Amino acid sequence: MSNVIHLETIADLNKVLQQSKGRHPLVSVVDLTKVEESFEPGVKVSTGFYAVMFKNYCINKIRYGRNYYDFQEGSLVCIPPKRVLTLDEGTEKKDDAVGWGIFFHPDLISGTSLGRKIKEYTFFSYETSEALHLSEKEKKVLVDCVQKLDAELSENIDKHSQTLIVSNIELLLNYCDRYYDRQFITRKNVNKDILSEVERILGSYFQSPGQTGQGLPTVKYLAEQVHLSANYLSDLLKKETNMNAQDLIHYHLIEEAKALLLSSDKSVSELAYSLGFEYPQYFSRLFKSKTGMTPGEFRNKN
């Protein structure tokens, strides 16, 4: 069985990476090109803190599930607490090696504006294949954010320290948010193919009698069908259709329900069960919230 290492605190991280004593107990900026410590292939690591990392090589390849984070191309990855990663044998260090990492504990942002909005940065839950690929200009902007944070950590801690440290981290994450939006735009052709596949999957789901017996399609089900994380798929669909994955499921569901109400003499309850609803009342409430009418009112009016 593979070893499992849990790094709960920033101090644990600094010790493993053989960094000098941390300047702040809840946040660390690390020059990853200077990290020489490697792990045996197959070691699993989980952490109690957030990580934002950029490298164009990796002393240990980092794997989540079956896929590797693509550090070879110089991509940015954002990892939330409690995610279990597997470290495998890496590659030889390049002459032009570039890399940095920002690691911060949830306690640092507790009670701050960043703490309240951290879940809005959905890219922390993206899969390995959904890492952010940066342009040279974008790399420089993020490096500037990292340097400002590093400079602040070199100051003596005072009553302004937490506000300035957190605001610098929030600025970095806001730029990441912008660059992910840009990546959705530059991958528009790929995104349209994914959207078409999602539309096809939903269409066939409601038209296949055997499927509806499994209940309503979920965002997780859709994401698995197109090999994406649920958050990435929802963000992609939001950019393409102005609807997230759950909204799109409801849209197809209501359109199918309208067709059945007008082409069948089955009761509303029977139609609800045939669409995958466990409780007809929930179907009626959802239908009214989307159309302004109950299923019965819609049928009578049309």
**Same domain membership, residue 231 and residue 169:** no
Domain holding 146: CATH number?
2.60.120
Convert the pLDDT of each residue in 48-76 to its tens digit.
999 998 876 555 555 555 554 444 456 88
- Cα torsion for 285, 291, 297, 302, to the nearest 10°? -150
CA distances from 301 to 194, 269, 290, 293 (A): 36, 19, 16, 10
User: Within this chain, do residues 283 and 242 fall inside the same structural domain, yes or no?
Assistant: yes
Residue 58: the pLDDT is: 56
**Residue in 41, 179, 160, 13 with CA at minimum distance from that of residue 101:** 13
Pick 31 or 106 by higher pLDDT.
Answer: 106
Cα R_g (the chain), whole angstroms: 24
Where is pLDDT greater, at 223 or 97? 223
pLDDT of residue 146: 95
Shared domain check, 176 and 49 = yes
Spatial neighbors of 217 by CB under 8 A, at least 6 apart, are 201, 202, 205, 211, 249, 276
Which pLDDT does position 165 carry in this prediction? 95
pLDDT at 56: 62
Q: In this structure, how many other beta carbons lie within 10 angstroms of the beta carbon of residue 179?
A: 20
Answer whether residue 1 shows pLDDT above 50: no
What's 287's DSSP letter? H
At 203 the three-state DSSP class reads: helix
What's the domain count of the chain?
Answer: 2
Kindly state whether residues 115 and 158 are assigned to the same domain. Answer: yes
Is the pLDDT reported for residue 245 higher than 80?
A: yes
Percent of the chain at pLDDT above 70? 84
State yes or no: pLDDT of 208 exceeds 80.
no
Q: How many CB atoms lie within 10 A of CB 290?
A: 16
Reduce the DSSP state of residue 132 to 3 states and report it. strand
Residues 125 and 207 both lie in one domain:
no
CA distance 29 to 52: 10
Q: Do 257 and 240 lie in a common domain?
A: yes
The residue with tokens 């960043």 is 114
The overall average pLDDT reported for the chain is: 84
Query: Do residues 115 and 91 make contact, with C-beta atoms less than 8 angstroms apart?
Result: no
pLDDT tens-digit profile of 130-159?
888 888 899 899 999 999 999 999 988 888
Residue 217 predicted with pLDDT over 50: yes
Instruction: Assign 186 a pLDDT band (cuts: 50, 70, 90).
Output: confident
Q: Which amino acid is at 116?
A: R
| N-term to C-term CA, the chain | 63
pLDDT, tens digit (0-9, with 9 covering 90-100), for 69-98: 444 456 888 989 988 877 665 555 556 667
166 and 232 co-located in one domain: no
Output b/e per residue, 231-263; b: 16+ Cβ within 10 A.
bbbbbbbbbbeeebbeebbbebbbebbbebbee
Residue 89 confidence (pLDDT): 59
Q: Are residues 204 and 175 in the same domain?
A: no
- pLDDT (0 to 100) of residue 239: 87
pLDDT band at 193 (very low <50, low <70, confident <90, very high): confident
Confidence of residue 172 (pLDDT cuts 50, 70, 90): very high
Give the residue-averaged pLDDT of 279-301.
90
For residue 39, count other CB atoms closer than 10 A to its CB.
Answer: 18
Assess whether 207 and 157 both reside in one domain: no
Q: Are residues 160 and 240 in the same domain?
A: no
Query: Among 186, 212, 247, which residue terminates a domain?
Result: 186
Residues 145, 253 within the same domain: no
Among the candidates 186, 209, 233, a domain finishes at 186
pLDDT of the residue at 94: 58
Range of the domain at 197: 189-301
Locate tokens 């703490």: which residue? Answer: 115
- The CATH number that applies at residue 200 is 1.10.10.60
Report yes or no: 62 and 68 within 8 Å, Cβ to Cβ: yes
Q: What is the DSSP letter of 302?
A: -
Are residues 153 and 212 both part of a single domain?
Answer: no
| Distance separating alpha carbons of residues 146 and 32, to the nearest angstrom | 13
Q: According to the model, what pLDDT value does residue 142 have?
A: 94
Last residue of a domain, one of 135, 151, 186: 186
